[in-house]
Amino acid sequence: MFDLTERRAGVLLHPTSLPGPDGIGDLGEEAHRFVDWAASAGLRLWQWLPVNPIGPGNSPYQSVSAFAGSPWMVALLPLREAGWLDPEADAAAAGPHERAEFDTRRVQFERVLPWRDRQLRRASAGFAARATAGDRARLQAWAASQAHWLDDYALFMALRTHEQERPWWDWPAPWRDRDPAALREAAQALAPELAHWRFVQWRFDEQIGQLRAHAARRGVALVGDLPIFIAHDSVDVWSARHLYRLDPTGQPTVVAGVPPDGLSPEGQRWGNPLYHWPRMAEDRHAWWVARLRRALVHADVVRIDHFRGFTACWEIPADEPTAAGGRWSPGPGRALFDDLREALGPLPIIAEDLGTITPDVVELLQACGFPGMKILQFAFGGDGHHPFLPHSYPRDCVVYTGTHDNDTARGWWDHAPEHERRFCARYLGCDSDDVHLGMIRGALQSVAALALFPLQDALGRPSADRMNLPGTQGGHWAWRFAWHDLTPDLTQTLATLAADSGRLA
């Protein structure tokens, strides 16, 4: 069981931001090398974004599955080493112009994903043709152990491919409405496609399991991320429509979002269908138990996004174009977490408790005993009583210089009002040249048990290198670093900060 009260420092970096020759960071040797670097820098936490398949806009927060892993994180080198992916044969089959060199600093999703898909399909075909009896037995045993989610996922992806990526509610009615005879017939007709998706998920699980084991050996814990809501066009909604608030055609009657505020006069309309919490409670929240159990296979700790949604979420009528017409709708409250704890034991959860936090959210957080989050970038807009200033923290919290949704520390400085910059400089003893290290030092020297920072902040990167800009479309989730960025001086500086703040083992 991971101890959330032990002082640790950590880094926030999505695996897709790792270096590597295949266009996007993955779970292979570069991820193992990053674990080694983190350990040498005194960082005993590596946090990433959701590792599920990405959705519209390449977002990891809008996935087709809450249980599956991202195919694009499956490392190709181990498939080549196993003899299932022959580089020479692949090059001959592909033609001379299929794979030019990919950008090493940005993920070119429009080029990389189709190329990666072809490689994975060649690998699964190579496995079908050349795998040993032992490999086939391992895949079969793993697939049987994961059948509770894998069978529906593989069928969903096969049907989706057959339907040229159309959403499930536009499929032929027997498939859309899960007619048992039609699904059996489809599974037989599409058997090779189902086998492909099972193979890809098996490789994902094997590789992330090897990475987690390596991290454990180096004293680095992995921190996962769990979005509270599910994408409408997902296997989860298609396979269990009764657990969501949908009309008879499968369309949401209400959708998720956040209310209007000073920064967003119309609020944010996320569009995710809302859960039918009373029905989920009928089987002691079995879907959530299975989901969290699966997440804890891949990580030691899980951050749950939008924790306040478990007390009440912003419910927007589906025909409303903005969030302004929404209202608060009650969530499951403590009953959900009581059922999770009874099924899974102690819960290593970090609660994202940002945004509109009401007393009932604070009460639920305290009742569950989960640490909440503090964002240092938000601390300098007021005076010395701001709750996000390090001297105000309780021990049972997690401080970040910023998250994937924030600007980088240097970008924040460049765009912050002058009075916030002056306050930050006085408080942290930094200036424009070293604000990123000043924020990291302030976070690590606080009493918060866990302190993390995006790798971009350690590198002092500008706004152009931020991971995401909420409420906008296009160009996000693409940043990557290079190994020469991680200089010996930087590594030593971070290790010294971790040691001086009592965050080493």
Average pLDDT over residues 404-419: 97
32 by Cβ neighbours in 10 Å (0-12 / 13-18 / 19+) ranks as: middle
Per the CB < 8 A criterion, the answer to whether 477 and 14 are in contact is yes
Scan for tokens 């944010």, then name that residue: 268
Q: In what order do the strands lie in the sheet with 301-304?
A: 349-351, 301-304, 221-226, 45-47, 8-12, 450-454, 397-400, 372-375
Across 66-80, 82-96, 97-111, least confident range: 82-96
* Contact (Cβ atoms closer than 8 angstroms) between residue 59 and residue 216: no
Residues taking part in catalysis = 305, 352, 405
Strand duo 221-226 + 45-47: pairing: parallel
Residue 263 banded pLDDT, cuts 50, 70, 90: low
∠432-105-230 over CA atoms, to 5°? 95
Give me the residues paired with residue 349 across strands. Answer: 302
220-231: pLDDT as tens digits: 999 999 999 999
pLDDT score at 96: 44
SS3 12: strand
Q: pLDDT by residue (tens digit) across 336-390? A: 999 999 999 999 999 999 988 999 999 999 999 999 999 999 999 999 999 999 9
Q: Residue 11 pLDDT more than 50? A: yes
Q: Minimal CA–CA distance to 160: which of 125, 117, 109?
A: 117
**275 pLDDT above the threshold of 90:** yes
Residue 134 in this model has a pLDDT that exceeds 60: yes
Identify the CA nearest to 265 among candidates 327, 326, 322, 328.
322
Per-residue pLDDT tens digits for 447-485? 999 999 999 999 999 999 999 998 787 889 999 999 999
Q: What is the pLDDT of residue 355?
A: 84
pLDDT in tens, 63-75: 999 999 999 999 9
What is the pLDDT of the chain when averaged over all its residues?
95
Is 252 in a helix, a strand, or coil? strand
Query: Of the ranges 88-92, 206-210, 494-498, which one carries the lowest mean pLDDT score?
Result: 88-92
Each residue of 306-341: pLDDT tens digit? 999 999 999 999 999 999 999 999 999 999 999 999
- At 97 the pLDDT is 47
pTM metric for this prediction: 0.96
CA-to-CA separations, 364 to 97, 286, 335, 369, 370, in angstroms, rounded:
56, 20, 10, 8, 9
Residue at 209: amino acid letter: G
